Amino acid sequence: MRYNYYLLLFILFFMSCKKNDFKIEYPRINKKEVQESFFGKKITDSYRNIENMEDPTIIEWFKNETKLSDSIINLINGKQYFLEKLTNDIEKNSYKISKLKITKNNTYFYLKKTKGDEYSKLYYRNGFSGKETLLFDPTSYKFTINYLQPSWDASKVAIGISKNDQEFSIFRIVELESKKLLEDQIPNGYPNGFGGIEWLPDNSGFIYTYVPIIDPKKKNYMFNAKSIIYKIGTSIKETVTIFSKKNNPTINFKEESIPIIYLSDDTSKIILGINITGTSRYRDTYFTRTTNLEATSVNWNFYYGKEEKIAAFSLSNSFFYYRTAKNASTFKICKTPLLKPDFKNPILVVDQDSTAIISDFTVTNQGVFYVKSKNGVEATLYHLNEETGERSEIKLPKASGYINVKSKGYQFNDLWIETKGWTSKKERYKYNIEKSIFEEENLNPIKENPILEDVIVEEIEIPSHDGIMVPLSIIYKKGIKKDKSNRLLINAYGSYKWSNAPYMYPYLVHWVNKGGIYAIAHVRGGGEKGDAWHKAGFKTTKLNTWKDLIACTEYFTDNNYVNKNKIVAWGASAGGVCIGRAITERPDLFSAAIIRVGILNTLRREFGANGANNTREYGTIKDSIEFKGLLEMDAYHHIKNNIKYPAVFLTAGLNDSRVPAWQPAKFAARLQEATASNKPVLLNIDFDGGHGFEASDNKKNEELAKIMSFAFWQTGHPEFQLKN
């Protein structure tokens, strides 16, 4: 087909005095309709051809859409200002440390990126106060370290390396004493997605999940994964498979199952094999004696099933501790004998709470430490002394919206917490149980931001469409008036039981400092209120997710915070379902929407990357009831002709292993065709990017600058209008 794309063509059949309302000539794409019938319901898919990303005409259209998008965004006056602010925020700190791992002998391994570095480097130190030593610099190799795992004796560290925001890794091994990068190259790992690696007890190699097909455009992408043992100095052809569909036919593995291995430490009596089928955190789990790893064939015995609803666990020498939602929607902590478990009659360690969920726990030689979280935004820490039965709340060094607890295990008394908030960065403390005090242990520099001194955070609940109370976080600068003059950026997710927990996002400070209100709607489908909260926004109940967002947004208009011309909804990935359906159901309520790498065509979700596993969250078109739920949540199929839709900015990554680029692309094509408003619908594709987890700081800042300048522009901020 023929494309007519010139920079001047997109601009302007007319432009209003506000400079945010103009007619655009979008790049043309041929429609190739596909008509299907599901349980008597006829469905027309107007842009099915966009799913074929091997078609050069589709890729050319992607490029033209991105050129168009960049050309418009670069005309916004404040875009460069925002990019400079985000860059300066990073450069204020001379370095950034990430992916900290602490071994039993107290060796600290971590990545460190100093000002001016393109890649993070691998360092270690002996203890928190020890001398920092550079272990490996990947700069000359031009790859990103996206994962690290030291051996039990801290003599070696395995690193995952990748390029172009890819989540799949090649594992390399670095020796501590020699600081040498060994020749071993172990391919096709997915350490940040599932499982990571587990070193063998004798440190001679490790176990990891090998994924044969890692190209998301291939038909059998992520199928037939297997857990394998790799011995240092051998080749990938010499690996031994110990847990897989082929090797273990009596285990209910599917083609799409992800088998992972868990070994708590080098002295553990058992090793667990976990069958991840679907996206649920509840999984069928098996065990074998650790000594069986040296056998030619490993036999696995059933340990517990997904019906136990075990979300997390910790092993001691004698007991299996676990956090479960079974008969406890807000979770409880139980334990059972390690070698002779009885999950029907477990020992109750900590009972559920009617007002907060148990969000995290760990076991040390001093007892059980656990975190309670109210509405996903107010965290408290507790200690249970199992010998005395005494339990107590531990006074925190500061109020915290989020707490994560970490320890070395049941043999040690070490306990660390990480805290975060909407207006405070992640801080790390070590707990001195003898003195009952926290001691700062921040490897990253902590600097106060004076802008945040005038910021107010409100945590409230508002009634949704059915009367259910939905948590709503509101962040704004002191002195805001309820005169409808403010602009609102409201974020929502609502899937996979993920809690939208407090975090000081890089853009939040600047949005609020410019007079904006930032809000987080903790909608159903997430995990803020526990297991039942997730199920209330799941498959056929998914409509509660976007209806909760609509109700939260209406709270601001009803209470005179904003008018409808200054509201931007923002979501990413699975949050695209929520945002997409909110703007198609109530296009009059929003002035703009930002959907980053979003799921927008749920009827086709199971045919995209890792789609079979995701049917457990959304449903399948093969089931008549679930089909109705999928259709109801499909934003693409709810676009109607001649409706005035809000402005929309969509992003995608061509290498995305989670959400294929055609998901937002199809939505963009259909919305550009259908909308009766003159508001822009922009599609911005990163041709070297993925889902964003492994993107560089520069790339993240560039994308955020585009997003935030678009939001300010579409809400009429005078500093973010189009250049003359």
Q: Identify the domain boundary among 308, 342, 357.
A: 308
> In terms of domains, do 366 and 423 share one?
yes
Residue 272 and residue 151 share a domain = yes
Write the secondary structure of 76-88 as one string of H (helix), E (strand) and C (coil): ECCHHHHHHHHHH
- Determine which helix (DSSP H) or strand (DSSP E) holds 75, and give its type and residue range: none
pLDDT, mean over the chain: 93
How would residue 12 be classed by pLDDT, with cut points 50, 70 and 90? very low
Query: Could you tell me how many residues make up the chain?
Result: 724
pLDDT at 695 (0 to 100)? 82
pLDDT > 80? residue 696:
yes
pLDDT value for 20: 53
Residue 188, CA atoms < 13 Å, CB-side half-sphere: 18
In the beta sheet, which residues pair with residue 722?
76
User: What SS3 state is found at 141?
Assistant: helix
Q: Are residues 247 and 394 in the same domain?
A: no
Task: Say what the pTM is.
Answer: 0.94
User: Considering the domain boundaries, does residue 370 fall inside one?
Assistant: yes
Task: Report whether pLDDT(649) > 90.
Answer: yes
- Strands 121-126 vs 347-350: parallel, antiparallel or unpaired: unpaired
Supply the pLDDT for residue 4.
Answer: 40
* 21 pLDDT tier (thresholds 50, 70, 90): low
Does residue 477 carry a pLDDT above 50?
yes
Of 388, 414, 444, the domain-final residue: 444
Q: What share of the chain is helix, strand, coil (3-state, %, to 5)?
A: 25, 35, 40
Residues 292 and 316 in one domain: no
Residue 503's pLDDT band (boundaries 50, 70, 90)?
A: very high
- The tally of domains found in the chain comes to 3
Sheet holding 107-114, edge to edge: 95-102, 107-114, 121-126, 133-136
Here the tokens at position 285 are 């789990």
| Mean pLDDT (whole number) for 316-320 | 96
Distance CA 257, CA 278 (A): 7
Q: Which of 396, 414, 444 is the last residue of a domain?
A: 444
Spatial distance between the Cα atoms of 518 and 297, rounded to a whole number of angstroms: 56
- pLDDT score of 3 more than 50: no
Is 658 in the same domain as 512? yes
What is the rounded distance in angstroms from the CA atom of residue 461 to the CA atom of residue 291? 53
Q: What does the alpha-carbon distance between residue 288 and residue 8 come to, in Å, rounded to a whole number?
A: 67
Statement: residue 522 has pLDDT above 60? yes
- pLDDT band per the 50, 70, 90 thresholds, residue 18: very low
Q: Is residue 155 part of a domain?
A: yes
36: in domain? no
Q: What is the pLDDT of residue 91?
A: 72
pLDDT, residue 694, reads: 79
Are 562 and 699 found together in one domain?
Answer: yes
User: Could you read off the pLDDT of 326-377 as tens digits, one per residue?
Assistant: 999 999 999 999 999 999 999 999 999 999 999 999 999 999 999 999 999 9
Give the pLDDT score at 450.
Answer: 79
Residues 528/522, Cβ–Cβ less than 8 Å:
yes
Give the three-class secondary structure for 459. strand
Whether residue 57 is predicted with pLDDT greater than 80 in this model: the reply is yes
**pLDDT single digits (tens) 133-174:** 999 999 999 899 999 999 999 999 999 999 888 889 999 999
Q: What is the pLDDT of residue 11?
A: 42
Same domain, 339 and 476: no
Q: What is the pLDDT of residues 553-568, one digit of tens each?
A: 999 999 999 998 999 9
pLDDT in tens, 556-611: 999 999 998 999 999 999 999 999 999 999 999 999 999 999 999 999 999 988 88
As a whole number, mean pLDDT of residues 260-271 equals: 95
The per-residue pLDDT for range 187-205, each reduced to its tens digit, is: 999 998 887 999 999 999 9
Domain presence at residue 557: yes
pLDDT confidence bin for 698, thresholds 50/70/90: confident
**631 and 493 both lie in a single domain:** yes
pLDDT at 269: 93
Residue 64 within any structural domain of the chain: no
pLDDT of residue 278: 78
- Would the pLDDT of 523 be above 70? yes
Interval 416-436 mean pLDDT: 94
Exposure of 322 by Cβ count < 10 A (0-12 exposed, 13-18 middle, 19+ buried)?
buried
* Cα–Cα dist 573/600, whole Å: 9
Distance CA 22, CA 550 (A): 27
Each residue's pLDDT tens digit, 235-252: 999 999 999 999 999 999
Do 482 and 564 lie in a common domain?
yes
Determine, yes or no, domain membership for 603: yes
pLDDT tens, position by position, 224-237: 999 999 999 999 99
Closest listed residue to residue 21, CA positions, set 681, 589, 704: 681
- Average the pLDDT over 638-662 and give the result: 96
Statement to judge: residues 524 and 631 lie in one domain: yes
The domain that holds 317 is classified in CATH as: 2.130.10.120
Q: Which residue did the predictor score with more confidence, 663 or 724?
A: 663
680 and 596 co-located in one domain: yes
Over residues 77-94, mean pLDDT: 86
**Contact 28/686 with Cβ under 8 angstroms?**
no
Residue 240 shares a structural domain with residue 344: no
Q: Are 476 and 490 in contact, with CB atoms under 8 Å apart?
A: no
Mean pLDDT of 658-679: 97
Contact 445, 528 (CB under 8 A): no
Q: Is residue 65 a part of any domain in this protein?
A: no
Q: Are 392 and 382 contacting, i.e. CB atoms less than 8 angstroms apart?
A: yes
For residue 296, the model assigns a pLDDT of 73
Residue 72 lies in a domain: no
Residue 605 tokens, joined: 């979700």
Alpha-carbon distances, residue 55 vs 60, 93, 364, 668, 691 (angstroms): 9, 45, 56, 18, 22
Q: Which residue range is the domain that position 438 belongs to?
A: 311-444
The pLDDT score that the predictor gives to residue 194 is: 81
The residue-averaged pLDDT of 452-458 equals 92
